[in-house]
């Protein structure tokens, strides 16, 4: 069959994205029936007068999401998607249940036209078809072993897959015995609290990831906020604080986006080496997404004296609902773990660990990361381009890494005023003030945090257009508000 796909140059969207969106919508509307044979990538490319690699990219995306299937020697066919609820949010099928992965708030949240949430991710590119196949294979042949208690630290094969990835991609030096798998970073921090001895004073970058602060606070730790300069946590202030543990995000600090240079990392390590019992907790939450230059190696890889506790997660790179994180303990603390808390059962089921293990071992995880880097870079670039008119009123920071940007006002407006004006245009934006441990420590000028991961490029453009009007940003060429 032929597909009459209206490709448009003026939209700014890549052709592969337009092809993917058109076919997906035709399938969801029922215009392309199940078992319908699609034209080959070569035929479609010839018909649309575009490169074959473009049509292949579109088909690969549809394959990974389970809208079509490739039958060897026959071609591509539309799959039946009856029973899936299309609410504009991605659904992940797991067993017989459908889990809404995009919903991180209650159903009573305001219905924003555009929500620039810095915590969202893009689930449209999730490889549902691959995940579904691995899930089925895991439960095939009455695999009873999956339903008995496993290794408290996490399955050995899974931990080895994590070790291999961390060593090659993040420069982390460890053995699989040092890795502990758990359900979320919050659990990792709670477990760590039982491993670290004594009444600790924990230093945190300010502003910081508030969820980590809430965990430390709930555990009755004394938390000391440490101001940052342009290179990250001020080590001089850290030294004066009386802290014996520092929680840092050197590869991409949240929310400031600061990438800590080597010299400052060395200073942090020197601080940890000066006294017995000092440790650095390295949260490497979204290091996979960097859009310029080489990835920044982990601080742990520089550590020569076993002082860095490394924490990572699959929440940003795969999906938040998977709830799988991991912690790399220094060897000196591993013995403490084994002595004091190794009786805790793993909080991640063997089934989920096996699915993730196969996902990594078969190369799907690496391919997914490469695909998501391309997806996020396109959105990042679209946001950067769309923010050009804003440069007369805002200082824009945080480019080239992560999933959000910062807009610092240069016109004397308050953060509250900017958020209120945006809300009046039905756009949700977030203020930097919400990331400070104590409100009185907020010395930042009014700054807005714009996340882009969960938005389409069309939604980004729509949101920026609404913000231009709300904040009265003038277009340089036209000299007036659009």
Report pLDDT for 477: 53
pLDDT in tens, 45-80: 888 888 888 888 888 888 766 788 888 778 898 988
Report pLDDT for 337: 95
Pick the CATH number of 1-82 from 3.20.20.140, 1.10.10.10, 1.25.60.10, 3.90.550.10: 1.10.10.10
Residue 332 CB burial class (10 angstroms; 0-12, 13-18, ≥19): exposed
CATH 3.40.640.10 domain span(s) along the chain:
151-362
151-362 is classed in which CATH architecture?
A: 3-Layer(aba) Sandwich (3.40)
86 φ, ψ (degrees, to nearest 5):
-100, 100
More confident residue, 59 or 84: 59
Residues 436, 207: Cα–Cα separation, whole Å: 4
pLDDT in tens, 395-411: 999 867 888 999 999 99
CATH 1.10.10.10 domain span(s) along the chain:
1-82
Report pLDDT for 15: 84
pLDDT in tens, 189-241: 999 999 997 789 999 999 999 999 999 999 999 999 999 998 999 999 999 99
Helix extents (H) in 310-424 = 331-340, 350-361, 364-386, 415-424
170 φ, ψ (degrees, to nearest 5):
-120, -5
pLDDT > 70 fraction of the chain, expressed in percent and rounded = 89
Residue 91 scores a pLDDT above 60: no
| pLDDT tier for residue 293 given thresholds of 50, 70 and 90 | low
Strand order in the sheet with 75-78: 37-38, 75-78, 68-71
| pLDDT tier for residue 252 given thresholds of 50, 70 and 90 | confident
**Is residue 207 reached through a cis peptide bond, with omega within 30 degrees of 0 on the bond before it?**
yes
pLDDT-wise least confident of 61-65, 105-109, 267-271, 322-326? 105-109
């Amino acid at each position: 069959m032929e597909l009459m796909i209206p490709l448009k140059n003026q939209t700014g969207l890549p052709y592969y994205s337009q092809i993917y969106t058109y076919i997906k919508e035709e399938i969801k509307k029922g215009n392309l029936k199940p078992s319908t044979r699609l034209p080959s990538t070569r035929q479609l490319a010839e018909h649309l007068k575009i490169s074959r690699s473009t049509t292949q990219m579109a088909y690969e995306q549809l394959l990974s999401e389970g809208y079509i299937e490739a039958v060897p020697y026959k071609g591509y066919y539309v799959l039946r998607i009856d029973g899936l609820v299309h609410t504009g949010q991605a659904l992940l099928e797991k067993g017989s249940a459908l889990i809404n992965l995009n919903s991180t708030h209650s159903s009573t949240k305001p219905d924003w036209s555009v929500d620039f949430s810095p915590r969202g991710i893009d689930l449209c590119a999730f490889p549902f078809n691959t995940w579904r196949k691995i899930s089925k294979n895991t439960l095939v042949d009455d695999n009873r072993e999956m339903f008995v208690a496993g290794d408290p630290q996490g399955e050995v094969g899974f931990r080895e897959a994590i070790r291999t990835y961390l060593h090659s991609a993040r420069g982390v030096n460890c053995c699989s015995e040092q890795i502990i798998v758990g359900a979320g970073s919050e659990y990792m921090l709670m477990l760590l609290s039982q491993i670290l001895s004594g009444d600790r004073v924990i230093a945190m970058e300010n502003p910081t990831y508030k969820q980590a602060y809430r965990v430390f606070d709930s555990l009755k730790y004394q938390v000391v906020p440490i101001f940052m300069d342009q290179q990250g946590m001020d080590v001089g202030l850290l030294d004066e604080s009386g802290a014996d543990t520092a929680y840092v995000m050197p590869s991409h600090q949240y929310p400031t986006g600061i990438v800590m240079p080597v010299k400052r990392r060395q200073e942090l390590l020197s601080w940890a080496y000066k006294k017995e019992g000092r440790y650095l907790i390295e949260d490497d939450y979204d290091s996979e997404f960097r859009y310029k230059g080489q990835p920044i190696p982990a601080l742990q890889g520089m550590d020569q004296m076993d002082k860095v506790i490394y924490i990572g997660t699959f929440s940003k790179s795969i999906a938040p609902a998977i709830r799988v994180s991991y912690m790399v303990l220094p060897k000196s603390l591993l013995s403490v773990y084994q002595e004091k808390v190794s009786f805790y059962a793993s909080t991640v089921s063997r089934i989920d660990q096996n699915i993730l293990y196969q996902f990594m071992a078969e190369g799907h995880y690496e391919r997914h990361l490469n695909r998501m880097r391309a997806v996020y870079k396109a959105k990042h670039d679209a946001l950067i381009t769309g923010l050009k008119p804003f440069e007369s009123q805002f200082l824009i920071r945080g480019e080239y890494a992560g999933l959000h940007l910062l807009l610092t006002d240069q016109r004397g407006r308050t953060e509250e005023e900017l958020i209120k004006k945006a809300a009046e245009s039905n756009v949700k934006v977030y203020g930097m003030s919400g990331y400070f441990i104590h409100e009185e420590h907020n010395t930042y000028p009014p700054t807005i945090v714009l996340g882009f991961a969960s938005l389409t490029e069309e939604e980004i453009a729509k949101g920026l257009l609404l913000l231009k009007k709300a904040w009265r940003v003038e277009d340089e060429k036209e000299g007036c508000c659009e």
